[in-house]
Structure 1
Amino acid sequence: MRLSISVLAVGGALAAPAFAEDLYPATLAGHAVLPALSLVEPPADAPRDAWISGKFTGAARNDDPMSVMGNVGKNYGGHETGIALPFIGQPVQGMSGFAMTQAGDGSWYTLTDNGFGSKRNSPDAMLFFHKMAPDFDAQTVTRRETIFLSDPNHVVPFRIAYEGTQSRYLTGADFDTESIQVVGDEVFIGDEFGPYLIRAGLDGVLREIYATRLDGQELTGPDTYSVHVPATAGRDFQVQRSGGYEGMALQPGTDMLWAMLEKPILLEGGETEGPFLRVIQFDPKTGDWTGESVKFRLSDGATAIGDFNFIDESRALVIERDNGEGDAALACAEGATDTSACFPHPALVKNIVLVDMTDVDADGFVRRIGRVDLMNIADPDGKAIDGVVHAGGPFTFPFFTIEDVVRVDDTHIMVANDNNLPFSGGRRIGQAADNEFILLSVPELLSAE
């Protein structure tokens, strides 16, 4: 079903109102790293194809392990990353979501994204989530368990990459998994391709797939299986590519899920409805969308969000970001043609925003309370791992995609990045970004109302 213009015309006519919010300080309380080249073995019953991943990231199939060097791309300086494809095994890389609920052993449920960035290049990248345990004293992250997603009961309504196998493990050609929550003995995962909500057991076996409904009509994207070329933006699909459920929060007290699109919705003609994102409520108990939705307005310079998690029954944290990568202290000079030792598009807007989901104005916008700037983090106690702070500057988190945030206690939050292995840098020129976990002391932000 197509989403008509009339459903979104009111939203498109409303410019996101100007807003004022407080900027709160953030202090580094811990820094831990899972190395970029962290790999996991596929399950014993997985197809042999899964043992070499990343074979389809170039112009043609490549079965020669570690033969093609990763690169951040021309727009980001053309720097090589020091890690080559394809991989022997599956990359743990790409932390794309934190669940609010911790595992029984105290570790955190974290989600890995679809593999190598697109539906086309990720048919051999398996989908899974983990139990991760950062140790901020040792500055390390331990992967305690990996749970692979599978569809043995044929729940998925389209042909999957490993369709002809008995185990039917899911891959990045099937879904782009970007957000996760645990509800009882089940896990809910937000997908960007459909966009869909995926319901599975904690064993990773799928139980149900939910198409997205907003204002009573179904939303689709250019990668939805039912959308065929030629397709017109806004008419045949309304969700931008890589614009599905980047964040999904579990509301305490109600156990409702609020799924947030990463990018603004498209109107007929291809323009967006405005500089804001839709947040749509889903009831896990009934297995249906409730019909409730709100809007999150992006600040100037922000193009997308990275994660979304409640801290109490009404307030939630949202990561908003631009598309920059790299510390501004190493930015290229204006007009520079040699970008070998600098970042041509450094990170500028990387915020953790506190919102009140129960304070919604007449136009449907949730109230932004305040934010912290991830490009200006104090480190008076020297918690940063050696070599990552530029002389005289603050600690920064200068990654392209920062996709994980969760409240740890009354004064601390934890943040992590998706390192897009092996295609992103950000910390050091010529070196692939690691999976970094940072613990931030932000008491003023967490107490703000």
Structure 2
Amino acid sequence: MRFAALLLTSSALLAGPAAAEESFPATLAGHAVLPALTLVTPPADAPRDLWVSGKFTGKTRNEQPMSVMGNVGKDYGGHETGISLPFIGQPVQGLSGFAMTRDAAGSWFTLTDNGFGTKINSPDAMLTFHLMAPDFETGKVTRKETVFLRDPDHKVPFRIANEGTDTRYLTGADFDPESIQYLDGEIWIGEEFGPYLLHATRDGRILDVFATKLDGNVLAGPDTPGIAVPAVPGKDYQVQRSGGYEGMGLQPETNLFWAMLEKPLLVEGGETEGDFLRVMTFDTKARDWTGQSYKFKLAEGAKAIGDLNFIDKTRALVIERDNGEGDAASACAEGAEDQGACYPRPAKVKYITLIDTASVDADGFLRRIGHIDLMNIQDPENKALAGLKPASGAFTFPFFTIEDVARVDDTHILVANDNNLPFSGGREIGKAANNEFILLSVPELLAAK
């Protein structure tokens, strides 16, 4: 979320990963949209506090619905987004991961993240996952179902925001869900605050919460319960803020989770250990970490990842991104003081990268096979929806956070963005980003070894 942030195989690759890796073509095969302002009614037994969300996104409590205009922030041009807080109901936004396995009807499991970006501003944002069905003939996305996470059995090992209620619905003050998998009729979620792995029933009841272990030691971040100020980065905690499990792939046949941190770990002194991310494996049968860990080398210019999903027994897709937003065609001129009609930090690095988890070098780096560039998507059949494509040139996906990718079939993948409602634009200046789903034809990428 905006408030929170915002593989190599040899020494030869270390010297120049971008030059050593093939870039494959991508063609737009479908485009569908879930409108930015899509809201859902809380369950009837939810506390009244949760019927209006976003009351704490400013410096003081604000209970007047739709009274404060969303804004992308000074660093991104200070553009208003046309949608105001607080919301009457709960926003269906921040789509932050696809499950590899779909439901019986073919709909996709996806989830809303913590709400508005931080623990402090999201205590009235309910944690949910959804079933979504994009229709590339009509260009619309149908929300088939929304499930609200709750902890009636007191499985969460710390005090939650709704501790004193019977249903104990979870909120963005408790967890920041960022990746999801559906296995044997149950839900698994990787989250960022702990970082934790959450195990839940299909109807949203928490079954267990697992802390993260790397080399036998429990990892923590600045928002992990028990980390108290003052805390020393790299000593008291190692995971960056908003640096937990942005991707958690389910490996076919083994049923291992490959849980990838969003950002590099911190070391003593507060610096990062390098421009790579840690990946830990979790055994869903043993209900424990395997002790195995790996490294993923970020592409030049990439700052974080957005999702991870396997396409077969060993190969997996990873979203890599910079912190830019907006198409370069509308970039601000260098030194421009007036940024009201331009993007001061346009998107540049937005990749879907294919990796091979069976190919690991002596230093533990996973092999990068190649990538597609989401800022250079061909659209020869004019599949892009009207009003959502550049006036000229290739179709782009210029969003700050792109956090959903999954294989559809042997030649296609599905990609979607986290729109950070109402704090991100990207597609059009002055307008909040929608939740866009794009179907991409990428046969060369999916066939690459």
How high is the TM-score relative to the length of structure 1?
Answer: 0.96
Letter in 2 for 1:78: G
Whole-Å Cα distance in 1 between the matches of residues 27 and 81 of structure 2? 29
1:412-431 aligned at under 5 Å gives the runs 412-431=412-431
Q: Counterpart in 2 of 1:113?
A: 113
Letter in 2 for 1:44: A
Whole-Å Cα distance in 1 between the matches of residues 15 and 385 of structure 2? 40
Distance change in 2, residues 1:410/1:286 (3 Å): same
- 8 A Cα contact 1:247 1:306, kept in partner: yes
Deviations 1:380-438 (A, max 9, x none): 00000012222221100000000000000000000000000000000000000000000
- 8 A Cα contact 1:16 1:275, kept in partner: no
Q: Counterpart in 1 of 2:61?
A: 61
Q: Counterpart in 2 of 1:99?
A: 99
1:18 Cα shift? 3.5
Q: Counterpart in 2 of 1:253?
A: 253
1:383-394 aligned at under 5 Å gives the runs 383-394=383-394
Q: Counterpart in 2 of 1:378?
A: 378
Whole-Å Cα distance in 1 between the matches of residues 364 and 183 of structure 2? 27
Letter in 1 for 2:324: G
Deviations 1:344-389 (A, max 9, x none): 0000000000000110000000000000000000000000001222
Letter in 1 for 2:26: A
| Superposed CA RMSD | 1.2
- 8 A Cα contact 1:186 1:199, kept in partner: yes
How high is the TM-score relative to the length of structure 2?
Answer: 0.96
Deviations 1:242-271 (A, max 9, x none): 000000000001110010000000001101
Secondary structure, aligned partner of 1:49: helix
Whole-Å Cα distance in 2 between the matches of residues 392 and 346 of structure 1? 17
Secondary structure, aligned partner of 2:329: helix
- 8 A Cα contact 1:194 1:211, kept in partner: yes
Spell out structure 1 runs of 4+ moving beyond 6 A: none
Q: Counterpart in 1 of 2:23?
A: 23
- 8 A Cα contact 1:179 1:191, kept in partner: yes
- 8 A Cα contact 1:155 1:206, kept in partner: yes
1:104 Cα shift? 1.1
- 8 A Cα contact 1:411 1:443, kept in partner: yes
Deviations 1:316-345 (A, max 9, x none): 000000000000000000000000110000
1:16 Cα shift? 4.9
More deviation in 426-435 or 183-192? 183-192
Letter in 1 for 2:96: S
Secondary structure, aligned partner of 1:100: coil
Q: Counterpart in 1 of 2:3?
A: none
1:226 Cα shift? 1.1
1:311-322 aligned at under 5 Å gives the runs 311-322=311-322
1:217 aligns with 2:217: yes
- 8 A Cα contact 2:390 2:396, kept in partner: no
- 8 A Cα contact 1:29 1:438, kept in partner: yes
- 8 A Cα contact 2:319 2:353, kept in partner: yes
Percent identity over paired residues? 71
Whole-Å Cα distance in 2 between the matches of residues 265 and 291 of structure 1? 17
1:17 Cα shift? 5.4
Q: Counterpart in 2 of 1:346?
A: 346
Letter in 2 for 1:408: V
Structure 2: segments with no counterpart, 5+ residues = 1-12
Distance change in 2, residues 1:17/1:165 (3 Å): farther
- 8 A Cα contact 1:16 1:274, kept in partner: no
Letter in 2 for 1:42: P
Q: How many residues align?
A: 437
Q: Counterpart in 1 of 2:235?
A: 235
Q: Counterpart in 2 of 1:80?
A: 80
Whole-Å Cα distance in 1 between the matches of residues 270 and 104 of structure 2? 46
- 8 A Cα contact 2:95 2:110, kept in partner: yes
Q: Counterpart in 2 of 1:139?
A: 139
Whole-Å Cα distance in 2 between the matches of residues 337 and 300 of structure 1? 29
